[in-house]
Structure 1
Amino acid sequence: MEEQEPKRIRGTGWKSVYDTLRSEILALTLQPGQLLDETTLAERFDMSRSPVREALIRLAGEELVVTLSNRSTIVAPIEVGTFPKYVEALDIAQRMNTRLAATLRTDADLKVIAKRQKEFEAAVKTSDRLAMSEANKRFHMAIADAGRNPFLASFYERLLAQGQRMLHLHFEYLERTREGYLLTDEHNQMLEAIRKRDVERADELAHAHTRQFQDNFINFMRENYTTEVPLAPMSAAR
Structure 2
Amino acid sequence: MGARHVYDELRREILTLALEPGSPLDETVLSQRFGMSRSPIREALVRLSADGLVEMLSNRSTLVAPIDLAGFPRYVEALDFLQRINTRLAARNRADRDIKRMLVLAKSFDDACLANDYLAMSASNRDFHMAIAEAGKNPYLAKCYGQLLDEGRRILHMHFDYIQSSTTDRLLSSDHYDMIEAIREKDVERADILAHDHTRQFHDRFMNFLRARYDDDFTFEKPLSMKIGASASKQ
Instruction: Tell me the TM-score normalised to structure 2 length.
Output: 0.89
CA deviations over 1:43-96 (Å, ceiling 9, x no partner): 000000000000000000010001123221010111101111111100000000
CA deviations over 1:151-200 (Å, ceiling 9, x no partner): 00000000000000000111111121144545431111111111111111
**Counterpart secondary structure, 2:23:** coil
Decide which moves more: 177-186 or 109-118. 177-186
Mark the runs of 5 or more structure 2 residues left unpaired by the alignment.
Answer: 215-219, 226-235
Counterpart contact for 1:105–1:194, Cα < 8 Å: yes
Residue 154 of structure 2 is aligned to residue 160 of structure 1: no
Q: Which residue of 2 aligns with 1:100?
A: 89
CA-based RMSD: 1.5
CA deviations over 1:193-235 (Å, ceiling 9, x no partner): 11111111110010111111111112112221479556xxxxx
Residue 128 of structure 2 is aligned to residue 121 of structure 1: no
Alpha-carbon separation, structure 2, partners of 1:178 and 1:98? 30
Q: Which residue of 2 aligns with 1:173?
A: 162
In structure 2, the CA distance between the partners of 1:54 and 1:74, relative to structure 1 (3 Å rule), is same
Match of residue 14, structure 1, among 3, 6, 14: 3
**Counterpart secondary structure, 2:55:** strand
Q: Which amino acid aligns with 1:118?
A: K
Residue 184 of structure 2 is aligned to residue 190 of structure 1: no
Alpha-carbon separation, structure 1, partners of 2:6 and 2:173? 33
Q: Which residue of 1 aligns with 2:233?
A: none
Alpha-carbon separation, structure 2, partners of 1:72 and 1:206? 40
Alpha-carbon separation, structure 1, partners of 2:161 and 2:174? 17
Residue 58 of structure 2 is aligned to residue 69 of structure 1: yes
Mark the runs of 5 or more structure 1 residues left unpaired by the alignment.
Answer: 1-11, 231-238
In structure 2, the CA distance between the partners of 1:85 and 1:40, relative to structure 1 (3 Å rule), is same
After TM superposition, list the pairs within 5 Å mapping 1:191-206 onto structure 2: 191-206=180-195
CA deviations over 1:136-159 (Å, ceiling 9, x no partner): 000000001100000000000000
Counterpart contact for 1:14–1:52, Cα < 8 Å: yes
Alpha-carbon separation, structure 1, partners of 2:76 and 2:48? 22
Q: Which amino acid aligns with 2:210?
A: M
Alpha-carbon separation, structure 2, partners of 1:138 and 1:214? 20
In structure 2, the CA distance between the partners of 1:189 and 1:61, relative to structure 1 (3 Å rule), is same
**Counterpart secondary structure, 1:127:** coil
Alpha-carbon separation, structure 2, partners of 1:52 and 1:229? 33
Alpha-carbon separation, structure 2, partners of 1:128 and 1:221? 22
Counterpart contact for 1:222–1:228, Cα < 8 Å: no
Runs of 4+ in structure 1 off by over 3 angstroms are: 178-184, 225-230
Q: Which amino acid aligns with 2:140?
A: F
**Counterpart secondary structure, 1:80:** coil
Paired-residue identity, %: 56
CA deviations over 1:14-51 (Å, ceiling 9, x no partner): 00000000000000000000000000001000000000
Q: Which residue of 2 aligns with 1:49?
A: 38
Select the structure with the greater relative contact order (CA < 8 A; seq sep ≥ 6).
Answer: 2
Residue 128 of structure 2 is aligned to residue 139 of structure 1: yes
Alpha-carbon separation, structure 2, partners of 1:77 and 1:162? 11
